[in-house]
Amino acid sequence: MDQQEEIQALEAQKEIERILDAIKTEIPIYLYAQPGQNDVFTDVAKQAIRFFRQLTDKIVLREFDLNHESAKKLNVEYSPTLVFDPDRYNIRWLGAPLGEEGRIFLEALVLIGLQKSNLGEQSLQVIKRIDTPRNIKVFISASCPYCPQQALNALKAAVEKPELISLEIIDIQANPQLADQYSAHSVPQTFSNEILIAQGAQTEELFMLSLDRMEQQTVFIPENDAEEVETDLVIIGGGPAGLTAGIYAERSGLKTVVVEKGVLGGQVATTPIVENYPGLKQVGGKTLVDIMVTHALEYVQIFPGEEVIGITPGSPIIVQTTRRKFLTKTILIATGATHRNLGIPGEKRLSGHGVSYCSTCDGPLFKGRKVIVVGGGNSAATEALHLHHIGIDVTLIHRRDKLRAQDFLVTNLVQNNIPILFDSEVKEIRGKHRVEEVLIYNNKTKNLSTLSVSAVFIAIGYDPAVAIATQIGIELTEEGFIKHDNYRTNVPGIYTAGDVSGGYKQIVTAAGHGAEAAITIFEDLINPYWT
């Protein structure tokens, strides 16, 4: 650990201590472990609890093996299992809090310790309607940046209604047999009473609605009128472009908000390693996001887990999100890009069951197994290298005779002996309940062949996320990006920056364009070019 990392770790520890300080009651945790079964995870669980016990004296740990009568009483079957405050709640963790999961564990301590769900008003209204038992299972992994959000939703539900809602948070690395049993081959995946109710992370309200209706919900219409917020600038998208624009705009004196529908950091949150961001020679994507978000929060208000679903141009411009309404003078569309689909048979059906678009999230489940990465650009090469380095037998499949990825990535693939099938197109993904094989067409020899694989990672590029822009007649370039002149779109008061506006798709360029766009907006608000 270098000096800067040491300082950051100390600051993080102090912050955790401050958060835990609010807890005034004891948090009993029962750790069930059977020697010889998943010992590595048991050790990690003990280390994690030891770490948190140094920061708060409220955790009361009791350790048992699986033969103990309390294990039978509580139906604990897997080693290790952590059971939280069993007299009050029915919340357990199968596995140990590793990596991203540390955040979930901290949130669990806080919610259970405070005996408060911290649910928003809209979610409370939905959960009030649930009047029959729900047993939630959330499958997560240590390297999945989306998992904490979904696990937190489930935790809040279980803390809010302990008499009806029970929760199992299941780490797929510690419990691959359970992941197989539920075909949970992408994370997060959420089941309630054995029914799949969500794939991926949801906003709090959508989670509660899915739990209420027992099927995945994609739209949440609030029962009350959304809250109204007046601003100078609404930034849509919390990726590098949006976050940087937020910092610049607030520092220029504009009342600004950032609205993010998914995970803050956008594509960077799912990037395993970034090696070309100035000042940071090599940094995990999620770490870079945390640094950016912490910085942005010093200035700008961020609304995470909230999707912009409509814009009405005018004065003010109205921005409708899944939770509230913003009345604003300007908008910056920084919605980035979303992954492209192959559009072949089996892809949609087996998505989440071996078909994946995020190697950092789902890779760990396929350790020691054979998988393919489809694509030939930087993302495909990066994903293949990442999977190889975590112990997966990976083959890269590309439809052309040469990769588009940068030279150093290609060299890296060769040095690591990662097989590449050139001139090859995946035509079908097959499997009854999970990916079992792919049908490959060689476009030179015209031969069809099959390859047995456990997973297909698709990395064939990204399409600009322009849906919200096209709804209101914003013009696009021929390539489908938002057309702009110095970040101004054809609709007065509406601007764009980052990947959605074309150009080089890099973190540093997105951040740079975000900064420039914010300055343009500031200048235009002083001297509106449209009047």
Ligand X SMILES: Cc1cc2nc3c(=O)[nH]c(=O)nc-3n(C[C@H](O)[C@H](O)[C@H](O)COP(=O)(O)OP(=O)(O)OC[C@H]3O[C@@H](n4cnc5c(N)ncnc54)[C@H](O)[C@@H]3O)c2cc1C
Do residues 293 and 248 make contact, with C-beta atoms less than 8 angstroms apart?
no
Cα torsion 176, 180, 183, 185 to 10°: value is 40
Q: What are phi and psi of 445, to 5 degrees?
A: -85, -15
| Residue nearer to ligand X on the CB measure, 25 or 276 | 276
Where helices occur in 406-460 by DSSP H, the ranges are 407-415
Other beta carbons within 10 angstroms of residue 447's beta carbon come to: 10
- Known catalytic membership, residue 361: yes
Q: List, in sequence order, every beta strand (DSSP E) within 334-392.
A: 337-339, 355-356, 370-374
Minimum distance, C-beta of residue 393 to ligand X, in the bound complex (Å) = 21
Q: How far is the CB of 260 from ligand X (least distance, A)?
A: 5
Task: Give the angle 249-252-258 at the CA atoms, nearest 5°.
Answer: 20
Q: 85, 171, 232, 362: which is the annotated catalytic residue?
A: 362
Catalytic site includes residue 147:
no
For the chain, give the number of residues. 531
Residue closer to ligand X (CB basis): 8 or 506: 506
DSSP structural state of residue 515: H
Q: Which of 307, 362 has the CB closer to ligand X?
A: 307
Minimum distance from residue 314 beta carbon to ligand X (Å): 19
String of DSSP letters for 34-64: -TTSSHHHHHHHHHHHHHHHHH-S-EEEEEE
Helix 240-251 and helix 285-297: axis angle, to 10°? 20
Q: Which is nearer to ligand X, 238 or 431 (CB)?
A: 238
Q: Measured at CB, which residue is nearest to ligand X?
A: 336
Q: Letter for the amino acid at 507?
A: I
- Tokens representing 50? 């030891």
Angle, helices 204-213 vs 147-160, to 10°: value is 60
66/522 Cα distance (integer angstroms) = 63
* 264 and 238 Cβ atoms separated by less than 8 Å: yes
Residue ranges in contact with ligand X by CB under 6 A: 236-242, 259-262, 266-268, 271, 274, 276, 307-308, 334-337, 379, 382, 465, 468, 498-499, 505-508, 510
Nearer residue to ligand X within complex by CB, 84 or 248: 248
Beta bridge partners of 428: 439
299 Cβ contact partners less than 8 Å away, ≥ 6 residues apart: 246, 247, 250, 251
- The least CB distance from residue 451 to ligand X, in Å, is 23
| Shortest Å distance, C-beta 46 to ligand X | 34
Q: Which is nearer to ligand X, 95 or 266 (CB)?
A: 266
Tell the smallest beta-carbon distance from residue 333 to ligand X (Å): 8
CB of 497 to ligand X, least distance (A): 7
Q: Which residues contact 2 (CB under 8 A, 6 or more apart)?
A: none
Dist CA 173 CA 141 (whole Å):
7
Quote the CA–CA distance of 462 and 261 in Å, as a whole number. Answer: 18
Contact 155, 107 (CB under 8 A): yes
Beta strand 27-32 pairing with 59-64: parallel
**Catalytic: which of 358, 393, 423, 499?**
358
Is the Cβ of residue 123 or residue 335 nearer to ligand X in the bound state? Answer: 335
Shortest Cβ distance from residue 53 to ligand X (Å)?
36
Annotated active-site residue in 85, 232, 361, 499 = 361
3 state SS of 14: helix
Nearer to ligand X, 214 or 476 (CB): 476
- Quote the least distance from Cβ 470 to ligand X, whole Å: 12
* Nearest residue (CB) to ligand X, 98 versus 517: 517
Does the active-site annotation cover 362? yes
* Rounded alpha-carbon distances, angstroms, from residue 428 to 130, 219, 350, 379, 401: 41, 31, 11, 22, 21
Q: What is the DSSP string of 139-168?
A: EE-TT-TTHHHHHHHHHHHHHH-TTTEEEE
Q: Which residues are catalytic?
A: 358, 361-362
